[in-house]
Amino acid sequence: MNIEQIHRVYFIGIGGIGMSALARYFAFINKKVAGYDKTESPLTQELASTGIDIHYSDDLNIVPTEYKNTKNTLVVYTPAVPPSHSEYQYFLNNGFVIKKRSEVLGLITKDSFCFAVAGTHGKTTTSSILAHLLKETGVEMTAFLGGISEDFNSNFLLEGTDYSVVEADEFDRSFMQLTPNVACVTSMDADHLDIYGDAQELERTFVDFTKRLKPGGKLFVRKGLPLEGLTYGIEDDSDYCIRNIKIEHGTYIFDLETPDFKIERVEFNKPGRHNLLNGLVAFAMAMQSGSPPDRLAEALATFKGVQRRFSYKIKTDDFIFIDDYAHHPTEINAVYDAVSEMHPNKKVLAIFQPHLFSRTRDFADDFAKSLSQFENILLLDIYPAREEPIQGVDSEWLLKKITSSGKKLISKEQIISEINNQNPEVLVTMGAGDIGLEVVKIKKVLSYAD
């Protein structure tokens, strides 16, 4: 497939964070773009405001006629779309070029100097830091991000095509479509067992991904992972290492050591040791572009963050409201550690929306252990996303496993009243479902609207 020959691109599932970035890319290079999504969202509204035709019913009659012409039309779909979807079936069975999002991303980036960020946690933050560092040091690139960067106010950046920054997503083995020059693996915790079956198969696939580097490519691996590459870590014998960490006015101050030099008193503003690691490997990767290390270190200090990644929605002397995408036990642990480090001895209330019945079932005991660290935890119903319910797997079942003294199952309609009743000093919302849509409501009701 030659992208130059494409005139129109139709997306099935255009509202996904990765799909919407691709839609922006094709619109930016002057292709006609349209698409379907199940529900309207801020992302689809923003795409529509740029002139992209979007509809929300699985109905071939409202697909624009010009996109039903097989000549010069590319159809892109997300694996989250069920095979029974009528639009998907139409394009699949009528001679269209139809590709997964990951295949298209691989085609777009294969001729660029590609930076790929892999791992079961940390991909979006790391790739956003990396894109920020490259931009700040004058490297012109295309970046496809899995979240809304607060530095760019977008999940997409196009300033040049010689370099690219992408998330190497393990879901559905999507990262096997990429051929990076520089890659990292941040973590390999068991996840997506509905795809892989077991943790060993997931690990084997990560190993296979690392073999997809172009000749002479470099791999950065978090210390302790069973992979061969340049290592990074905190206060250990890694190739790239952070030492002497201090916290001054809510900012990390540390020394950064590489195999060749040391930079003292580097600043970084995102809470959590996991974010320090993300910043460190982004720095190490960005060095491969030839950017001056001292400028990269300065740029670390100005990184603003990613929406829904330990995002401060309210931050006053009396009340803190943090929102995070955490939807895996390891991520919940990281949020808890960051809250404890940055806001010690505060009364914390956590609200969690489980994501996927299969993930809740597969990691129920781990979820219970991580959530039980919060003395006060409110649990919402499971967000199903692409799944049908699994008998016996629900939030009430998970709640029984949690040992917190202040635990409760609530509906979304009860969120505000529960917050008011408990009067916490620190409020944390977590989850990958539609809990993010509740954040604006919570902030507004608490009289801190933008």
> Which residues are documented as binding site for ATP?
119-125
- Cα 346 to Cα 310, 340, 425: the distances in Å are 17, 8, 6
Mind giving me the DSSP string for 204-267? HHHHHHHTTSPTT-EEEEETTSSS-SEEEEESSS-SEEEEEEEEETTEEEEEEE-SS-EEEEEE
Rounded distance between C-alpha atoms, residue 3 and residue 265, angstroms: 46
Q: Distance (Å, rounded) from C-alpha 114 to C-alpha 4? A: 20
Q: Residue written as tokens 């001292």?
A: 294
For residues 399 and 396, give the distance between their C-alpha atoms in angstroms, rounded to a whole number: 5
Q: What is the token pair recorded at 85? A: 């979807």
Annotated binding-site residues read: 119-125
Extended beta strands in 24-162, E state = 32-36, 53-55, 73-77, 97-100, 113-118, 141-149, 154-158
Cβ proximity of 164 and 109 under 8 Å = yes
Give me the residue label for tokens 């300033």. Answer: 159
